[in-house]
Amino acid sequence: MSQDSLVKRQFGHRARLALSPTQVVKTADQAHAARTLWNLLHAWWQIMPKERRTLAHADAAIRQARQDIDFLAVLPAQAAQAVLKTYFQAWKNCWDGRAAAPNFKGRLRTVMSVDIPQGRDLNITRAHRRWGQVNIPKVGRVRFRWTKDLPVGKQANATNRITGARLIKDALGWHIAFRIHTLQRKSKPHQGPDIGIDVGVTVPIALSDGETYEHGEWLTDKERAKLLHLEQRAAQRKRHRKPGEPTSRRLHRIYDQIAGLRAKAKRRALDWQHQTTTTIARTYGTIVVEALTITNMVKSARGTIEVPGTNVAQKAGLNRSISGEAWGRTITMLAYKTVQHGGTLVKVPAPGTSLRCSACGRTTPGSRESQAVFVCKNPDCGWSGNADHNAALNVLHLYRMGLALIPAAGRAVVRRTKRVKPAAAR
């Protein structure tokens, strides 16, 4: 196989860790030390003159801090260097306009994490069909859930290896995210049909060929009842807390239980999104979606004191539903999965796709009778059908008319390309 037919690919794989109580304490101490080291770096950056804000001077400051502050010694030296590199990269991203300026990391609002920058320190082995073992510096040998074949042992080489990992804590416990570097064969151009996609709230994903992908509630009835009970208990305890009084441990435990249930729902939603987007990317060659500005769609309707908004509660409920469906995450998954399978993802202008009749091509007031039904009010047409299917057909029509959105200087502009013939006419 020639090198021209191979392409580099870097991706991550996340697995759940099975830590003992002692290992949980050690890992948490490392995460707190990493956060403290970041804050010390940020304070050093603010007091130093510009000519001394260099990587060499920051490295010397870190070494001195690890000697002067005892609890920083629990953090491995390589993890401390990773904090330094991440901090300087954050400033580079800020100067390039890709992110905001780095700031102090608070104890309660920061995700606890520790970086393991070198993959050779992990020494990964497979101990069981469902479990593997990994070496975490200054923590020891730890088991993790084996849900994906990893390039370890004889399978690992210069072009297929694990380059590092990161320990992350969420509401469901500690996880390890492996960084994997590999060479894969280039995907051949996908010969599947073109498809238009309309995303919604009632029907999450509707395709122009009439196919729909729906899901139920992410939590069972018992879990939803438990979540409601916990939220009521938390509100009651918070209501009886005196002003300025610190949060009790009992209330913190309730918050942890609520976060655990919400994290479980998010994990199930992610699993559904991954399975659905993989199926779509494998089936269709060209996937056409709307270029939605979701941040504008979920803005509050509260208004101001001079000009108060209307239907604020209804709009707030709609905003929660839109955020819960995570349309942006669905498009992001489709973007990289279509590339892996040799397909193409195209974005087209969004205005008017749900109001235009896909049969006659006209936009007649009152045609969108409800959320689910579209009835064209044009006297010469009268077409009726599913509203989401109609919108998906309009999305595909815009692509076949040669309209596509391309980024230009931070904004999207319409580019008229060569008209694409339907697959049936090719």
3-state SS track over 145-190: ECCCCCCCHHHCECCEEEEEEEEEEECCEEEEEEEEEEEEECCCCC
pLDDT classification of 240: cutoffs 50, 70, 90 = confident
Q: What angle do CA 205, 211, 215 make, to 5 degrees?
A: 45
Span 79-92, mean pLDDT?
Answer: 92
Helices vs. strands in the chain: H and E counts, helices first: 9, 16
Number of structural domains in the chain: 2
Within-domain flag for 238:
no
The yes-or-no verdict on residue 24 having pLDDT over 90 is yes
Q: Is the pLDDT of residue 230 over 70?
A: yes
Indicate whether 399 pLDDT > 90. Answer: no
User: What confidence tier does 202 reach under pLDDT thresholds 50, 70, 90?
Assistant: confident
Query: Cα separation of 291 and 405, whole Å?
Result: 8
H or E stretch including 282?
helix 249-283
Q: What is the mean pLDDT of residues 271-294?
A: 90
| This model's pTM is above 0.85 | no
- State both tokens at 175: 């996880």
Quick check: helix, strand or coil at residue 341? coil
Mean pLDDT of all residues belonging to the chain: 85
Q: Summarize pLDDT for 372-389 with one digit per residue, the tens.
A: 788 887 777 877 878 888
Domain boundary residue among 166, 186, 206? 186
Residue numbers of the domain that contains 420: 189-217+260-426
| % of the chain exceeding 90 in pLDDT | 36
Does the residue 232 lie in any domain?
no
Other beta carbons within 10 Å of 330: 21
Contact status, residue 69 vs residue 32, Cβ threshold 8 Å:
no
Are residues 365 and 351 part of one domain?
yes
Q: Are residues 210 and 127 in the same domain?
A: no
The reported pLDDT for the residue numbered 203 is 86
Give the E-state strand segments of 319-361 in sequence order: 344-348
- Domain of 422, CATH number, reads 3.30.420
pLDDT at residue 4, rounded to an integer: 59
Residue 57 and residue 182 in one domain? yes
- 272 inside domain: yes
Which comes out higher in pLDDT, residue 265 or 424? 265
Return the closest-CA partner of residue 145 out of 118, 172, 110: 172
* Predicted pLDDT at 135: 93
Distance CA 145, CA 267 (A): 15
Look at residue 328 and tell me whether its pLDDT is greater than 60.
yes
Q: Judging by DSSP bridges, how do beta strands 344-348 and 373-375 pair with one another?
A: unpaired
Question: What is the reported pLDDT for 359?
Answer: 77
pLDDT in tens, 129-144: 899 999 999 999 999 9
Within a domain: residue 247? Answer: no
Cα 198–chain centre separation? 20
Determine the average pLDDT of the residues in 188-202. Answer: 86
Which of the residue ranges 33-47, 171-185, 302-316 would you say has the lowest mean pLDDT? 302-316
Instruction: Say what the pLDDT of residue 324 is.
Output: 83
Name the burial class of residue 221, with classes exposed (0-12), middle (13-18) and buried (19+) by CB atoms within 10 angstroms of its CB: exposed
Lowest mean pLDDT across 206-215, 248-257, 402-411: 402-411
Q: Which helix (H) or strand (E) holds 213?
A: strand 212-213
Q: Pick from 186, 205, 231: which residue ends a domain?
A: 186
Q: Give residue 79's pLDDT.
A: 92
